[in-house]
Amino acid sequence: MQAAVVTSFNTPPRYADIDAPTGGPADVVVDVVAAGLHPRVRSQADGSHYTSIDELPLIPGIDGVGRGPDRRLRYFVLPDTTRGSMAERTVVDERRSFLLPEDADVIALAAAMNPAMSSWVALRRRIDFRAGQRVLVLGATGNAGRLAIQVARHLGASAVVAAGRDRRRLATLGAVGATATVALDADPDTVAEQLAEGARDVDVVLDYLWGEPAVRAMVALVTAPEPRQKPLTWVQIGSVAGRSAAIPSAALRAARLEIVGSGQGSVTTAKVLAELPTLAREISAGRFTVDAKPVRLADVEQAWRTDAYPNQRVVLLP
Ligand SMILES: NC(=O)c1ccc[n+]([C@@H]2O[C@H](COP(=O)([O-])OP(=O)(O)OC[C@H]3O[C@@H](n4cnc5c(N)ncnc54)[C@H](OP(=O)(O)O)[C@@H]3O)[C@@H](O)[C@H]2O)c1
């Protein structure tokens, strides 16, 4: 069968012929219909993700939509494997998949399930989020951040402040539910002032950045001119601005700040899976704006270039 195949962690996958998977008794072999090229897939393919199993060759892809032997559509999430979804066929554990209606929007699902579940699962399963609370999305201009605004509003957030460095993208976020924006490309003092002013009342931060910008935002929020009375729950989700962050000890003492992470390992697989059918229904119903770019699997090598489709989520079609 044809697949995207990684033979070195230093080069993008190539479209190549490889043996088709067979699977064990508990597995379902699916014909893949669509698979998203998420940052998590890039880090799987370059060996840098914290769950990387360092085995080559590998077929990248962590989720997708496919048709099982019954020809019905299903969405699936794969475990850490070298037989990913960017192939004509892959092997799915039935318990990590669920059936979709025949009219499901397969492109939107392949594009959005992964980025949308980052905020959906965080708000529904990782923390005690309540309707009416206020949210800051740090790193709101990416696919996951943009969906986080929409997910937070959908789940009842009364306000969502969107912070990001790309002003052109930031200007589009009001249309998807942001009630205020903060440009992170300004000088650090201005950013701190704007966060202290515009995001002073937030209850929850959904943080896709980490690194320096997260530290600066944290300090700005907890040391705002008016001391914070209410708790602040900081949910660490992505790390596009830095893998580590030097948080000053005073930040932890100055407010009722609680830092938690949400991702593979900090929420059980069972809890994540329990949320997915509802999220899939909302995505397929067009509840969230999704910027998907369908591309033939044969063009995977070109699509892998990070500047090929800026800000769009590539969906590979075998
Ligand atoms: N924990 C989970 O469950 C989970 C699930 C899904 C995704 N994630 C993580 O969430 C993160 C975002 O994913 P995504 O799907 O949204 O990726 P994406 O669509 O590629 O977006 C990444 C965004 O980050 C911005 N960015 C990069 N460096 C930045 C910086 N220093 N300051 C401000 N913005 C910066 C980029 O904006 P520019 O245009 O300014 O470069 C881009 O808009 C990734 O780390 C991903 O692994 C976590």
Q: What is the DSSP string of 42-76?
A: HHHHTT-STT----SSBB--SEEEEE-TT--EEEE
From atom 41 of ligand 1, which residue's Cα is the shortest distance away? Answer: 166
* pLDDT value of residue 78: 95
Report whether residue 263 contacts ligand 1, using a CB cutoff of 6 Å.
Answer: yes
Ranges 24-28, 49-53, 118-122: which has the least confidence:
49-53
Structure confidence by residue, pLDDT tens digits, 143-181: 999 999 999 999 999 999 999 999 999 999 999 999 999
For residue 186, the CA-to-ligand 1 centroid distance in Å is 19
Cα–Cα distance list, 316 to 23, 33, 113, 296 (Å): 23, 8, 14, 6
pLDDT at 16 over 90: yes
Counting from 1 in the atom list of ligand 1, the atom nearest the Cα of 261 is 1
Please check the confidence at residue 199 and state whether its pLDDT lies above 80.
Answer: yes
Distances (CA, A) of 213 to 165, 187, 258, 287: 10, 11, 18, 30
- Residue 229: pLDDT above 90? no
Q: Which residue has the higher pLDDT, 225 or 129?
A: 129
DSSP conformation class of 87? B
280 confidence band (pLDDT: 50, 70, 90): very high
What average pLDDT score do residues 22-47 get? 91
* C-alpha of residue 21 to centroid of ligand 1, in Å: 32
Q: Is the minimum distance from the CB of 181 to ligand 1 under 6 angstroms?
A: no
Q: Compute the distance from residue 220 Cα to the ligand 1 centre, in Å.
A: 21
Kind of pairing between the strands at 257-261 and 159-164: unpaired
Q: What is the mean pLDDT of the chain?
A: 95
Cα 318 to averaged position of ligand 1 atoms, centre (Å) = 26
- What is the pLDDT, as a whole number, of residue 155? 98
- The CA dihedral of 82, 87, 93, 94, to the nearest 10 degrees, is 170
Q: Is residue 140 over pLDDT 90? A: yes
CA angle 19, 20, 26 (to 5 degrees): 135
Task: List the one residue out of 10, 27, 39, 38 whose CA is nearest residue 83.
Answer: 27
CB 194 within 8 A of CB 217: no
Average pLDDT over every residue of 65-77: 97
Q: Check if 241 has its Cβ closer than 6 Å to any atom of ligand 1.
A: yes
User: How sure is the predictor about 56, in pLDDT bands with cuts at 50, 70 and 90?
Assistant: very high
- Left if phi > 0, otherwise alpha if psi is -120 to 50, otherwise beta: which for 309? beta
CA distance 110 to 126: 23
Give dist(CA 93, CA 101) in Å, integer: 19
